[in-house]
Structure 1
Amino acid sequence: MSDSVKSCFDVFMRDSVNLDPERTTTARASRDWLVHKIENLADNGEIPPLYNGTNHLFFGSFARNTKIRPLDDIDIMIVFDAQGCTTDDVTKITRKTYPIYVNNPHAKLLPDYCDGNVLNSRKMIETIKRELGAIPSYSKADIHRNQEAVTLQLSSYEWNYDIVPCFYTTTGFFIIPDGKGSWKGTDPRIDLNRVTQANQRVNGALLPAIRLMKYWKKEHWRDEVSSYLFENLMIDWANSLYSFPMTYPQLVKSALDGLSSLIMRDYYDPKGFQGSINDLDLYDRRRLAIMASQDASEASTAIQYEQNYMTEAAINKWFKMFGNEFPRHGK
C-alpha cells in the first residue's frame, strides 16, 4: 500500500519508470546474439568485413541506462573495415559530411554500393537490411525513417533494433550515414563518458533522476524536446548543483527549476558535430519554460503539504503532475 509520498515514488519508479530488470537482462542477451549473427554474416561474405578492432558499439538511452518504459528500441553501431577507403578530411567540423572514396580495387563488397567510386550509405543500408531480414527470429527489416539505420523488428520480443553502419577514422571518431547517401561524424563514447562522470559525481543518483524526469517530459514536453537533448539538460542541471537533492520531491522541484532555465538556451552538441541541438524557436522555448516553472511551483506546494502532514493532498499533487501511473494514496 502506498501510504507515504516516498512509497508512492518508490512504486512509481519500480513499476512505471524503470525498465524491468529481467527484461533488461533478456534484451542484453538478445543484443549480444544479434551482434554474433552480424559477425557471422561478415565472416561469410554476405556483408562487408568488420573492423578488426572494436566491431560494434552500443549507444542510445538503453546503453546509457537512461531508458524508461517501454523498452521499444535498442541501438547498435556496427563498425566496418574501411579497406583502404579515404575521405577529403577527417577533422572534426560542425555539420561536415565525409564522402567515402573506395580506391582499393580489392575491397570486398564496398564497390557494389558506390556511385562511381563514392560509397553511397543508402545502398549499403539496403544491403544490410536485406541480409538482416533473412535471419530467422526476426519478423521484418526496414530502413529507419531518418534513413540512417536499419530497423530490425523481432518476432519474439517487444523491442526493435536500430542498426547503424559506421567506419572508424584515423582521427578517432566514427562516420555514419547522414540520411542523404553520404556520411557524417559522431562519437557516442563522448555521451556515455559524460553521463557516467556526472552520475559518479553524485554517487549514482543522476541516472534514476534522468529516468524520472524523462517520464515527466513524456507527460508534458512530449516529443517537442528530444530524449538526447533532455538528457544533456539534466546532466548540466546536475553538474550545476552544490549538493544533490536527497528526496524525490526535492529532486523534481530542483530539476524543473533548472530545466525552465536551460531550455531557453541554445545547446551545442557535446560531441562537436551537430551544432545547436535545441531547434525550438523562442516562442516554444518560452512556452516549455513556463510549463516547467509552473510544475516547479506545484512541486513546491506538494512538498509543503507533506511537511504539514497533508500526505494525501501531497500525493494528489504528484498524481496530477505525473499522470495516471503515479500511485494514489492508500492504493
Structure 2
Amino acid sequence: MAKKLRMFGRIALIIVMALVTFCSGVWAALALWYQLPGNLASRTIGSAAWVIAAVALVTLAITRRSWLPLTAYAVVYAFLLFWWVGIAPSNHRLWADDVSRLLTGTVAGNLVTLGNVRDFTWRADDDYDARWETRRYDLDQLVSADAVLSYWGSAAIAHAMISFGFSDGSHVVFSVEIRKKRGQQYSAIGGFFKQYETILVAADERDIIRVRTNVRGEDDYLYPLRMDKPAMRALFLSYVRAANRLAVTPAFYNTITSNCTTIVYRMARQIDPGLPWDIRLLLTGYLPEYLYQVGALDRNVPIAELRQRGRITGRARSSKAGDDFSRVIRVGIGEPQGVPDAHL
C-alpha cells in the first residue's frame, strides 16, 4: 500500500509540475512574442525557441527522472520574469493621431479646465479633421451623467464611456482606451501582455460616439444614470484626477484588470464603497443589467424597454452636420426618475 501511495504521489506531482510548466511556458511564449524587440520573424523565432526549450527540459525531467532540468527551467523563467518586470510604460512613443495628446485638468472651485479635449470630424478611420480644444466646465451647472455602451460584434463585449451633461446643453464624454501606436491594431490577447498604454480621452459626443456608429459600424446605447449632483461631481473630478495621474505616471492597459469598465468601477467605489463587484464588469455587454440591479438606472421601467429606448445608433447615423448631435441622439430616451437610495 505504501508503495502504491508513493507511486500515486509521484504521478500527481509529475502532473502538477507538467501543468505548471505548460501554463508558465505558454504565458512566457506569448510575452516574448508580444514584447521581444524586432520584427514579426524575430519575435516568432524567440517565442518558438522558448517553447522548444521548455518541452525539451520537461521531457528530460520525465525520461531521466531528474529534477535538474526543471531547476534549469525555473532559473531561466526567473530571468524572464526579471526582464518582464523591467518593461515600463511610456508616454513618449509615435502615437496614433486620435490618442496623440494627453488629457489634463485643473480645478479652481467649481470651475474645471480640461486641456486636450478631442473634437475630431470623422469621415473614415484614416480620414478626419483633427482638432484639440481647451474647454471649461462649471460643476454647478452639471445636470446629468449617462452611460454609453458601444458594441462591435459580441453581445457580451462593449466599450463603456460616461457622458456628463451641463445646463447649457453641452456634453463631454470620458473614455478609458488603449493608447495605440501609429499603425497599431487592437488585440484582446495583446492587452494582457503590455501591448498598450492606457489613455483617458475626453471628447465631444459628436466625435467619440459618431466615429463608432457612423465610421466603425458599431451599435451604441445610452442610459441616463440615477445619480445625485454630489455623486456626479465626485465622479467627474475622479476622471480629472485619473487623467492627471496618467499624464505624469503612464500605465499599461490590461484587458481584464485595467480596462474601460474596471477603472470606472474603482472610481465609483471611492464614492460608494458598498458598490458590489460583478462578472458583468468584465462582460461589459451586460453592464446595463448590473447598473439596473444596483439602482443606477431607472427601475420604474423594465430593463428591456430601457435598452430599446437607449439604442442611439440609428439617430446618430441619420444626424446631419448642422444638427445638435447630443439632442438628436437623446430623442425618446427621457430622464431617469429620482436618485438611488444606496448606490451612486
Q: Shorter-chain TM-score: which interval?
A: under 0.3
**Higher normalized contact order (CA 8 Å, seq sep 6+, divided by chain length):** 1
TM-score of the pair, normalised by structure 2:
0.23
| Structure with greater strand share of residues | 2
TM-score of the pair, normalised by structure 1:
0.23
Structure (1 or 2) with the larger CA radius of gyration: 2
